[in-house]
Amino acid sequence: MPIVVQKYGGSSVADADKIKNVARRAISAQEKGNQVVVVVSAMGKTTDNLIKLAQQVSEEPDEREMDFLLSTGEIVSCTLLAMALKAMGHDAVSLSGAQAGIKTDATHSRARIMGIEPRRVIKELDKGRIVIVAGFQGITSRMDITTLGRGGSDTTAVAVAISLGADVCEIYTDVDGVYTADPRLVPEAQKLDEIGYEEMLELASLGSKVMHSRAVELGWLYKMPILVASSFSNNPGTLIHGGASMEIGNKVRGIAHDLNVAKVTVVGVPDKPGVASAIFDPLAKASISVDTIVQNASIDRVTDLTFTVTKTDLNKAMKVIAPVVKSVGAKECVSDTRLAKVSIVGSGMQTAPGFAARMFRALYEAGINIELITTSEIKITCIIDEAKTSEAVRALHKAFELEKGV
């Protein structure tokens, strides 16, 4: 019997009525002849409320205890969903991450899944039950509870789908699918019927926050098709899968944007071997993700080194960098937070000329200055003035004719 894994986020299980809605959707999937596993997040604001509670007893709550505390949120929604299913006459059972065999490393608050032992899940499915699995959590080899970090329920769902050899992993959320741009900025934005993993990854990591990028990466690695759709409608949604890229290559698929961008420039860096690693090693050790890195052409063996980090990490990054600036003999270090990223995403752009030029022209015609440029196989990103984000996204959406459908 085919296996379907469905995941419902916090807003889809926010109250008793919504939980009953999810129950009906799970039943409907089962009645179509599937074995059904449902992964759920915590109800609505539960996680935020638990964090507030923790902050009342400790300014810096211990991470191991925080993980254990937060893991209760998903247990609550899981058990309520199982009760709702039983009340509707369908056998169901809820399982914690631990019971579902989700083994992680011990990196509390952002644990990585090391493997899944789905014996119990399979046993329960074979009894004809709908199996509810608590998202976002796992257990270490020492039997301590971990969480996978915000949005980790998506990762749970994809991982469980892979471990069961499911036909598809369905991520239900409060949006209809993946759009060519943020519909709040671009009213003409079109829903994509399908998209490749890599393209989705670029869109997800750049702020089209439909789903967690780790989940997409995982799906990509194991070729698990992922359907993103609304939990409040029966619209078809967007299928993220491997076949998409090849068939529909050489085309811009969407415009992504990200407001969480800060720029750091180390001014007057001596151009000699080892300087870059002297700067970036301490950032990596401090777990600060560095994004775009640009080094200007060297004049008289002195250069400027510019890179971006998230606004959230900026203060930490400046603190880490300060002693390094001195030790490498650079002049100073300056930062700018009034920035945003806009990107065009589509597979095969690198091999098809003209995309970059068209992007730069569109921004120029909209009167938007480009501060930094960076490119990858499937995207071209410009760092621009934060205040111009909406204009830039709209201009690019129009320039690549995305309102005509893709």
Choose among 69, 90, 9, 81: nearest CA to 44: 9
Residue with smaller CB distance to its own copies, 16 or 259: 16
CB of 402 closer than 8 Å to CB of 254: yes
Among 66, 131, 195, 359, the residue binding its own copies under the rule CB under 8 A is 66
> Least distance to its own copies from the beta carbon of 313, Å?
25
Three-state helix/strand/coil letters over 297-327:
CCECCEEEEEEEECHHHHHHHHHHHHHHHHH
Q: Give the interface segment with its own copies, choosing from 58-66, 267-275, 340-348, 387-395 (CB under 8 A).
A: 58-66
- In the list 93, 189, 324, 328, the residue contacting its own copies (rule: CB under 8 A) is 93
In sequence order, which residues have a C-beta less than 8 Å from that of residue 192 and are 6 or more positions away? 177, 178, 179, 180, 238, 253, 254, 406
Asked if 45 is part of the footprint of its own copies (rule: CB under 8 A), the reply reads no
Query: Applying CB under 8 A, which of residues 21, 79, 107, 230 lies at the interface with its own copies?
Result: 79
From 49-57, 228-236, 246-254, 345-353, give the range in contact with its own copies by CB under 8 A. Answer: 49-57
94 counts as binding its own copies under rule CB under 8 A: yes
Say how many C-beta atoms besides its own lie within 10 A of residue 117's C-beta. 12
Contact between 76 and 42 under an 8 Å Cβ cutoff? The reply is yes
Cβ neighbour number for residue 370 with a 10 Å cutoff: 15
131-190 residues in contact with its own copies (CB under 8 A) are 143-145
Q: Which of 177, 201, 189, 184 is nearest to 345 (CA)?
A: 201
Residue 69 or 283 with smaller CB distance to its own copies: 69
Please report whether residue 38 would count as binding its own copies according to CB under 8 A.
Answer: no
Least distance in Å: CB of 15 to its own copies?
A: 8
Structure tokens of 342? 């806009």
Q: If binding is defined by CB under 8 A, does position 16 make contact with its own copies?
A: yes
Q: Does residue number 235 form part of the binding site for its own copies (CB under 8 A)? A: no
Burial of residue 228, with CB atoms counted within 10 A of its CB: 0-12 exposed, 13-18 middle, 19 or more buried: buried
Work out whether 61 is an interface residue with its own copies (CB under 8 A). Answer: yes
**Tokens read off for 62:** 């211990």
Nearest-angstrom CA–CA distance, 290 and 60: 25
Q: How far is the CB of 20 from its own copies (least distance, A)?
A: 6
Among 38, 82, 111, 248, binds its own copies (CB under 8 A): 82
Nearer to its own copies, 58 or 235 (CB): 58
Q: Choose which of 36, 84, 130, 248 interacts with its own copies (CB under 8 A).
A: 84
Q: Report if residue 260 touches its own copies, rule: CB under 8 A.
A: no
Closer to its own copies by CB, 56 or 351: give it.
56
Query: Measured from the CB atom, is 71 or 381 closer to its own copies?
Result: 71
Rounded to whole angstroms, how far apart are CA atoms 298 and 303? Answer: 5
DSSP per-residue codes, 41-76: ---TTHHHHHHHHHHHH-SS--HHHHHHHHHHHHHH
| Of residues 81 and 382, the one with the C-beta less far from its own copies | 81
With contacts defined by CB under 8 A, how many residues of the chain interact with its own copies? 40
Confirm or reject binding of residue 87 to its own copies (CB under 8 A). yes
d(CA 218, CA 238) in angstroms, rounded, equals: 17
121: Cβ contacts below 8 Å, ≥ 6 apart = 37, 95, 100, 101, 131, 133, 160, 164
Our finding on whether 80 is near its own copies (CB under 8 A) is yes
Question: Which one of 51, 76, 276, 278 is in contact with its own copies (CB under 8 A)?
Answer: 76
Binding its own copies by CB under 8 A: which of 11, 21, 51, 72?
Answer: 72
CA 338/CA 325 separation, integer angstroms:
23
Nearest residue (CB) to its own copies, 31 versus 62: 62
Instruction: Give CA–CA dist 241/347, Å, rounded.
Output: 13
- Does position 231 interact with its own copies (CB under 8 A)? The reply is no
Secondary structure of residue 288 in the 3-state scheme: coil
The yes or no reply on residue 83 touching its own copies (CB under 8 A) is yes
314 binds its own copies (CB under 8 A): no
Kindly write down the DSSP assignment for every residue of 15-38, as one continuous string: SHHHHHHHHHHHHHHHHTT-EEEE
> What is the pairing mode between strands 168-173 and 3-8?
parallel
Q: Which is nearer to its own copies, 59 or 300 (CB)?
A: 59
Q: Contact residues for its own copies (CB under 8 A)?
A: 15-16, 19-20, 50, 53-54, 56-62, 64-66, 68-69, 71-72, 75-76, 78-84, 86-87, 93-94, 96, 99, 120, 143-145
